[in-house]
């Protein structure tokens, strides 16, 4: 048994609600020399994934899992992706795995899947769950979203992001302690955190976590969650939807920016997550946009388009109570005005 344990590869689940800053933290993490040999599996909620493009390609071991939430329809894809990594594990090219989940993921079925599949459990060990918490929006998210509660309650490490922005630190920390009294709460400085503080947490253990965690794990084990494509009814808020708007012709920033400003001002609470890669008029490099509710970051000019990318603009929206047609018609109207 000791030999088997010595040969297992540590696997970290990186989770956190929509827009918490998981990809930013991951990018900082994989840049470090001591993270060489790390494979990254990226899971996204929606029809088109962008995070695998936004994750820095330090090596060729970034894998986009099929669209859909890991806790719903694609647990089998996670298991298959891990099995596909085995030849590289045996060749000692991969020594660690990080799975970045969608912001809507419930960690319980993911943990149960990793612990329950014999072929995976013999080769990979769940080293810990790291949950990134948005210091600005977390209190409201914990009030409204069961997934956010579970992500915090099951964490082995909690990482606070966006602490440089105004927020109620005392109230948030008290809420986090109530949900998870055992997990250390760390602070990320613009996405930077010491790998030693969040990795090598030891084998996952529900002991010491609130009682609901064991109940969630047991429910996940017997829920018969589907592993074939298709929705898993009832797991997520039915008012939440994800869609991607694609534009083949270059866009004008004035049109896109003005439309986003309008949406933020009038329906910001409904914009759970907005992220996109834009092909803009007069710009040869892609521009990345990110936003959560009323807070949007400055656009970021990326180094270049990935090889083979169609260079289309793709904007992913995850909304609550705000439909695709409303946003799409607005974008098209503002774009037409900008190009006139």
**CATH code for the domain of 44:** 3.40.50.300
Last residue of a domain, one of 166, 188, 222: 222
SS3 12: strand
What pLDDT is attached to residue 104?
A: 82
Nearest to 73 by CA among 46, 100, 39: 46
Our count of domains for the chain comes to 2
For 264-275, how does the pLDDT look when each residue is reduced to its tens digit (9 = 90+)? 889 888 887 787
For 128-179, how does the pLDDT look when each residue is reduced to its tens digit (9 = 90+)? 889 999 998 899 999 988 888 888 888 889 999 988 877 678 899 999 988 8
Whether residue 318 is found in the same domain as residue 199: no
Last residue of a domain, one of 195, 222, 249: 222
What pLDDT is attached to residue 105?
A: 81
| Domain that residue 329 falls in | 240-339
| Cβ contact 39:11 at 8 Å | no
What pLDDT is attached to residue 208?
A: 64
Whether residue 172 is found in the same domain as residue 218: yes
What pLDDT is attached to residue 213?
A: 60
Whether residue 109 is found in the same domain as residue 195: yes
What pLDDT is attached to residue 234?
A: 44
Please give the model's pTM, rounded to 2 decimal places.
0.63
What pLDDT is attached to residue 195?
A: 83
Whether residue 155 is found in the same domain as residue 91: yes
Give every residue of the chain whose pLDDT is below 70, as ranges.
1-6, 44-75, 115-116, 167, 202-240, 292, 297
Whether residue 96 is found in the same domain as residue 19: yes
DSSP code at position 107: H
Whether residue 148 is found in the same domain as residue 37: yes
| Cβ contact 303:225 at 8 Å | no
Residue 37, CB-side half-sphere exposure with 13 Å CA sphere: 13
CATH number at residue 324: 3.30.1220.10
**Helix, strand, coil content of the chain in percent (nearest 5):** 40, 25, 40
Whether residue 111 is found in the same domain as residue 246: no
234 inside domain: no
Whether residue 168 is found in the same domain as residue 294: no
Q: How many CB atoms lie within 10 A of CB 193?
A: 20
Whether residue 17 is found in the same domain as residue 154: yes
| Cβ contact 150:216 at 8 Å | yes
233 inside domain: no
What pLDDT is attached to residue 56?
A: 45
């Amino acid at each position: 048994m000791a030999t088997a344990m010595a040969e297992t590869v540590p696997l970290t689940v990186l989770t956190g609600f929509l827009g918490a800053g998981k990809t930013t933290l991951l990018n900082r993490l994989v840049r470090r020399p001591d993270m060489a040999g790390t494979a990254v599996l990226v899971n996204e909620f929606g029809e088109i994934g962008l995070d695998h493009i936004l994750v820095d390609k330090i090596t060729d071991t970034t894998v986009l899992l099929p669209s859909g939430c890991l806790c719903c329809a694609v647990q089998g894809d996670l298991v298959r992706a891990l099995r596909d990594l085995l030849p590289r594990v045996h060749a000692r090219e991969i020594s660690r795995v990080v799975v970045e989940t969608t912001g809507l993921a419930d960690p319980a079925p993911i943990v149960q899947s990793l612990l329950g599949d014999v072929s995976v459990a013999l080769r990979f060990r769940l080293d810990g769950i790291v949950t990134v918490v948005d210091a600005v929006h977390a209190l409201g998210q914990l009030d409204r979203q069961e997934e956010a509660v579970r992500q915090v309650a099951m964490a082995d490490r909690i990482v606070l992001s966006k602490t440089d922005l105004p927020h109620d630190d005392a109230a948030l920390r008290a809420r986090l302690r109530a949900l998870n009294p055992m997990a250390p709460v760390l602070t990320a400085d613009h996405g930077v955190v010491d790998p030693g503080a969040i990795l090598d947490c030891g084998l996952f253990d529900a002991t010491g976590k609130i009682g609901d965690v064991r109940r969630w794990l047991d429910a996940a084990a017997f829920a018969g969650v589907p592993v074939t494509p298709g929705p898993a009814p009832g797991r997520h808020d039915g008012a939440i939807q994800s869609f991607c708007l694609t534009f083949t012709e270059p866009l004008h920033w004035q049109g896109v920016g003005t439309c986003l400003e309008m949406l933020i001002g009038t329906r910001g609470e409904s914009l759970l997550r907005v992220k996109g890669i834009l092909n803009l008029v007069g710009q040869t490099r892609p521009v990345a946009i990110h936003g959560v509710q009323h807070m949007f970051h400055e656009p970021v000019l990326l180094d270049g388009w990935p090889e083979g990318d169609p260079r289309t603009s793709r904007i992913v929206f995850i909304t609550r109570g705000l439909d695709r047609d409303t946003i799409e018609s607005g974008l098209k109207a503002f774009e037409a005005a900008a190009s006139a």
